[in-house]
């Protein structure tokens, strides 16, 4: 079950725990306190309560003996959903205590007793405050933590869905008044679904029936102009009369008037013929022939022609000036177009305009194009929208050349006509060039409908990607006055080697154009041209590069930065700026790659020196291990950096992560070594004996959490520490010093003390690592207790024989018989020794000091999945570098706040492809 927790002044937190149907509220609260660590920051131990909260604002406190799982399972009876909220109980107010303000101001005189009227007013005010507080908590619970797929499963979904359908049907029948169900046949719409059933009133018209039928068949209801409703009448002789209904006809009323036992009336949705007739088209005899006879003259149906023009928006510079080169064009389609930053707007088939920026709401406004008029409506009163520099808060009709500003930074010019000639709604398009030759290229470009247009600095190059045939593409480049259609290539050639081969085979262009085309190729393989960008870049010049890296790496003190991943994010912003700067000034891709690799090589060298200088400082090692892992993740997942950098910097960073990990492991083992002797004290209580060890483990966990170390690295590190505990205790037990403790009593004591370590590991989510690495000492304690019911899977024959030979029976315990000892040793030889020989593990008595496992660098679980915007500590550090003259922080206002916008999956060749174009349509571009 999922539970939520709200501490005072804190955000909502959520956890999932396994709950039994017999678990009471009291037991669940105890488990949740351990999960949320709610009382770690408090000096006292407060009391908590569990609340059942529903979206309509209803809130109820669960009794101590109630069972939360049963409460949740009973929600379906009322067709409702809810959430469980853990809250700290408020301290009881003591009326005899003076308020703090009175003490501070010295007004400690007696206050008069409240009158009945004032008491009632105060009581009413307190009740209102409680209701308002409950509403605020409910609103925060459903807004701060939105719905996810990982919520409770409806206990009986069939019953719930059935109830919902029944209620929906009852409500619709109540609204209809007079009406009923009607079968509408759609044999032309679907071969597998012959008809659908609609619930209609007597007043529902044919056009509504067509729209609802199309919707039932999964078609676009806005295409209803292309379909009509046909009435078929079949008499007793089998003759069929059909008539196309007018949009104002009421099918259910026709059925009530004309339908009887001798005349069967059915309704069919069909595609409109070229010429429509309101009256009888003809009738078919029983044998399927058209009967002879006079036919009434055809009366064509009066209907509106479809609009042949479409409006569009042309993006211009935020200051109102016209762009020097290419600009984006958004064609406004009929009906409603949503505008905002919601990520679902980018999905195929969604009629929306996706914009990014700090002041752009997920659903910012709506553009409606209907009946030849285009209107703009804000979705929220706080949405920033101006039309011709006038702020609007209600629906506004757009006119030719209106300037529309959305979110403060996106400025568009509105055109009432011309969008029908622009087929690239979701792609970037060119502005019309000035010279005739580029004019010709532009005309072909707009007709060919490119999938994506890649635009660098307008003076440098323009490039468009086309789909020419199945699995084939071609690239059209305009470099200055030179234009060239490159040869076809497949999607498999979109890697570096394939594209380089195409570039060299292009020919016919000057060396300068070839170099610019190389840059276009690089942009085609990367995500640099996407609208969304990371929140900020760090601008710096080459002459301060070394000093900047020293400030970020060598001179940085981990305890002085509040955002512990500052170095990783600073290096990422610097790398992104280096790519943008080099390509923006027209330098070649090879020069950009060389410069970036030089920068990364310096970075690796300085971090290596820093790690070596702090090889005995656990805090510094954890800090740099975490930052190295984050920086390597940026380098591997960012498609631009991965394409532009060579493998050597990535390999160097991976080696540095392992080096920092090894140094940190040695430091922590030294701390753990000093905490182990109390565990071996036979006189100490079990809990007191393990406190020093658990204190060290807690300190290590806090250190890793403060430095935001990746969870997979944390597990590997604790695996080493658990193995050290196992090695220390086991090797002591089989030594001459520990052999005197090989008895049942010590086996029980050892198992009890290890249970505290296992319980701590379970609270931290490390139970699997602890059980796996402590298994030998746990089996040794089991063997000393003479518990042979459970098998031994890790003690080899040498270890088993050594423990049994040293075993000292208790005073009232008979000695071990030789047959039992032999059987246990033979079992170990058969089960454990054989497995170790298969794995090439040497058979030895003592445990290895180090855990010999390969070091793995995790692939996921990094901070960009959670960090949004610019953390305050990162911005403070960047500003301090700017004050020292090392550069400046460039905040990018169009960013959505994500640091993962350039990660793999956004490259050009992964985009959904539009309609296919044949090579002949593009061949005319060659003549340019």
CATH of span 177-284: 3.10.20.90
Sign of CA dihedral 41, 44, 49, 53: negative
Report residue 485 as tokens: 């259609």
Closest CA to 570 of 543, 621, 607: 607
Q: What is the pLDDT of residue 157?
A: 52
Strands 329-331 and 312-316: antiparallel
Surface-to-core class of residue 18, CB atoms within 10 Å of its CB (0-12 exposed, 13-18 middle, 19+ buried): exposed
Other Cβ atoms less than 10 A from the Cβ of 13: the count is 17
**What gap in Å lies between CA 172 and CA 168, rounded to an integer?**
6
**What gap in Å lies between CA 154 and CA 79, rounded to an integer?**
10
**What gap in Å lies between CA 657 and CA 649, rounded to an integer?**
12
Q: What is the pLDDT of residue 521?
A: 45
pLDDT in tens, 209-264: 998 888 888 887 667 888 899 998 887 777 777 888 888 888 888 888 777 767 78
pLDDT along the chain (928 residues), means of 10: 74 82 90 71 68 84 91 80 83 40 42 64 69 61 53 50 67 67 86 84 86 84 82 81 84 81 84 54 32 35 48 84 70 86 75 81 89 87 89 90 88 85 41 34 36 32 38 43 38 40 41 47 41 85 92 93 95 91 65 88 94 94 96 91 87 94 95 93 90 95 94 94 95 89 90 94 92 92 85 88 89 84 89 85 88 88 90 93 92 86 55 30 31
**What gap in Å lies between CA 488 and CA 494, rounded to an integer?**
12
- Say which residue the tokens 């959903």 belong to: 81
For the chain, give me the number of helices (H) and strands (E)? 26, 29
**What gap in Å lies between CA 357 and CA 341, rounded to an integer?**
8
Report residue 474 as tokens: 């071609």
Surface-to-core class of residue 372, CB atoms within 10 Å of its CB (0-12 exposed, 13-18 middle, 19+ buried): exposed
Closest CA to 588 of 496, 518, 643, 495: 518
Q: Where in the chain is the domain with CATH 3.10.20.90?
A: 2-92+118-144, 177-284
905: left (phi over 0), alpha (psi -120 to 50) or beta: left
Task: Give, rounded to a whole angstrom, the gap between the first and last alpha carbons of the chain.
Answer: 66
Side-chain-side CA neighbours of 653 within 13 Å: the count stands at 25
Which strands make up the sheet holding 83-88, listed edge to edge? 12-16, 2-6, 83-88, 48-53, 59-61
Contacts of 432 (CB under 8 A, 6+ apart): 439, 442
Q: Where in the chain is the domain with CATH 2.60.200.20?
A: 312-426
**What gap in Å lies between CA 853 and CA 869, rounded to an integer?**
38
Q: What is the DSSP letter of 97?
A: S
pLDDT in tens, 390-442: 999 888 999 998 999 998 888 899 998 887 766 433 333 333 333 333 333 33
- Say which residue the tokens 């309101």 belong to: 278
Q: What is the pLDDT of residue 691?
A: 94
**What gap in Å lies between CA 3 and CA 151, rounded to an integer?**
10
Q: In 774-871, which residue ranges form alpha helices assigned H by DSSP?
A: 775-784, 797-806, 818-828, 834-838
Question: Would you say 496 and 518 are in contact if contact means Cβ atoms under 8 Å apart?
Answer: no
- Say which residue the tokens 């939360």 belong to: 68
3-state SS assignment for residue 310 = coil
Q: What is the pLDDT of residue 560?
A: 92
Q: What is the pLDDT of residue 640?
A: 84
CATH classification of 2-92+118-144, choosing from 3.40.50.1980, 2.40.30.110, 3.10.20.90, 3.40.50.1370? 3.10.20.90
Q: What is the pLDDT of residue 143?
A: 61
Sign of CA dihedral 646, 649, 650, 655: positive
Q: What is the pLDDT of residue 666?
A: 95
3-state SS assignment for residue 264 = strand
Domain boundaries 312-426, CATH class:
mainly beta
């Amino acid at each position: 079950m999922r539970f939520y927790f709200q501490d005072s002044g804190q955000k909502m937190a959520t956890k999932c725990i396994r709950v039994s149907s017999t678990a009471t509220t009291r037991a669940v609260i105890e488990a949740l306190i351990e999960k949320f660590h709610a009382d770690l920051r408090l000096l006292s131990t407060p009391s908590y309560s569990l609340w059942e909260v529903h979206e309509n604002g209803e809130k109820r406190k669960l009794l101590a003996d109630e069972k939360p799982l049963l409460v949740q399972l009973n929600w379906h009876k009322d067709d409702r959903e809810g959430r469980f909220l853990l809250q700290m109980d408020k301290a009881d107010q003591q009326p005899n205590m003076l308020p703090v303000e009175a003490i501070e101001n010295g007004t400690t005189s007696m206050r008069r007793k409240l009158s009945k009227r004032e008491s009632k007013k105060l009581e009413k005010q307190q009740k209102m405050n409680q209701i308002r507080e409950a509403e605020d908590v409910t609103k925060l619970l459903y807004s701060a933590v939105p719905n996810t797929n990982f919520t409770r499963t409806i206990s009986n979904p069939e019953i719930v869905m059935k109830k919902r359908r029944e209620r929906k049907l009852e409500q619709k029948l109540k609204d209809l008044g007079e009406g009923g169900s009607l079968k509408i046949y759609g044999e032309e719409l679907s071969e597998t679904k012959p008809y659908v059933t609609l619930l209609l009133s007597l007043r529902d018209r044919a056009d509504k029936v067509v729209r609802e039928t199309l919707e039932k068949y999964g078609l676009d209801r806005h295409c209803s102009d292309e379909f009509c409703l046909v009435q078929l009448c079949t008499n007793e002789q089998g003759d069929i009369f059909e008539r196309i209904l007018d949009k104002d006809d009421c099918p259910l009323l026709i059925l009530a008037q004309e339908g009887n036992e001798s005349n069967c009336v059915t309704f069919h949705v069909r595609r409109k013929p070229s010429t429509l007739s309101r009256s009888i088209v003809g009738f078919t005899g029983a044998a399927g022939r058209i009967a002879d006879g006079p036919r009434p003259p055809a009366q064509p149906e009066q209907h509106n022609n479809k609009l042949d023009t479409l409006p569009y928006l042309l993006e211009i510079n935020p200051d109102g000036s016209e762009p020097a080169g290419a600009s984006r064009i958004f064609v406004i389609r009929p009906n409603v177009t949503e505008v905002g930053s919601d990520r679902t707007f980018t999905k195929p088939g969604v009629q929306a305009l996706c914009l990014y920026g700090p002041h752009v709401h997920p659903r910012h406004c709506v553009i409606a194009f209907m009946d030849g008029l285009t209107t703009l409506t804000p979705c929220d009163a706080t949405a920033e929208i101006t039309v011709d520099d006038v702020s609007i808060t209600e629906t506004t009709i757009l006119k030719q050349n209106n300037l529309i500003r959305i979110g403060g930074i996106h400025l568009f010019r509105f055109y009432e006509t011309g969008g029908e000639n622009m087929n690239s709604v979701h792609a970037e398009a060119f502005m019309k060039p000035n010279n005739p030759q580029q004019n010709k290229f532009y005309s072909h470009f707009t007709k060919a409908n490119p999938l994506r247009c890649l635009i660098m600095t307008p003076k440098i190059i323009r490039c468009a990607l086309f789909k020419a045939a199945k699995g084939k593409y071609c690239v059209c480049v305009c470099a200055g006055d030179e234009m060239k259609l490159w040869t076809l290539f497949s999607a498999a050639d979109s890697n570096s080697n394939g594209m380089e081969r195409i570039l060299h085979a292009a020919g016919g262009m000057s060396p300068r154009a070839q170099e610019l085309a190389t840059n276009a190729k690089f942009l085609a393989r990367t995500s640099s041209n996407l609208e969304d960008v990371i929140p900020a870049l760090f601008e710096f010049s080459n002459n301060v590069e070394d000093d900047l890296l020293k400030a970020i790496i060598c001179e940085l003190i981990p305890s002085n930065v509040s955002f512990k991943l500052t170095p990783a994010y600073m290096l990422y912003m610097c790398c992104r700026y280096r790519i943008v700067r080099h390509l923006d000034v027209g330098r070649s891709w090879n020069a950009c790659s060389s410069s970036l690799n030089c920068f990364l090589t310096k970075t690796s060298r300085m971090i290596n020196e820093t790690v070596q200088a702090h090889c005995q400082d656990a805090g510094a090692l954890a800090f740099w291990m975490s930052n190295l892992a984050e920086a390597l993740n940026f380098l591997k997942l960012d498609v631009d950096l991965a394409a532009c950098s060579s493998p050597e910097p990535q390999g160097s960073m991976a080696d540095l992560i392992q080096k920092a990990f090894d140094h940190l492991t040695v430091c922590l083992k030294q701390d753990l070594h000093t905490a182990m002797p109390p565990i071996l004290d036979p006189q100490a209580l079990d809990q007191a004996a393990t406190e020093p060890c658990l204190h060290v483990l807690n300190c290590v966990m806090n250190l890793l959490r403060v430095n935001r170390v990746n969870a997979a690295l944390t597990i590997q590190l604790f695996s080493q520490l658990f193995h050290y505990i196992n090695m220390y205790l086991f090797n002591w037990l089989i030594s001459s010093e520990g052999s005197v403790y090989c008895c049942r009593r010590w086996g029980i004591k050892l198992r009890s003390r290890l249970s505290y370590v296992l319980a701590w590991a379970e609270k931290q989510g490390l139970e699997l690592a602890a059980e796996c690495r402590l298994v030998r000492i746990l089996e040794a304690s089991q063997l000393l207790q003479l518990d042979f019911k459970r098998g031994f899977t890790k003690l080899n024959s040498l270890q088993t024989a050594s423990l049994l030979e040293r075993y000292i029976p208790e005073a009232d315990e008979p000695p071990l018989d030789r047959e039992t000892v032999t059987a246990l040793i033979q079992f170990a030889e058969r089960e454990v020794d054989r497995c170790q020989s298969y794995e090439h593990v040497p058979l030895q008595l003592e445990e290895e000091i180090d855990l010999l496992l390969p070091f793995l660098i995790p692939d996921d679980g990094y901070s960009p999945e959670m960090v949004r915007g610019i953390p305050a500590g990162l911005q403070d550090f960047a500003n301090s570098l700017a004050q020292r003259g090392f550069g400046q922080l460039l905040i990018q206002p169009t960013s959505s706040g994500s640091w993962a916008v350039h990660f793999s999956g956004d490259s050009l060749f992964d985009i959904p492809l539009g309609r296919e174009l044949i090579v002949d349509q593009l061949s005319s571009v060659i003549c340019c």
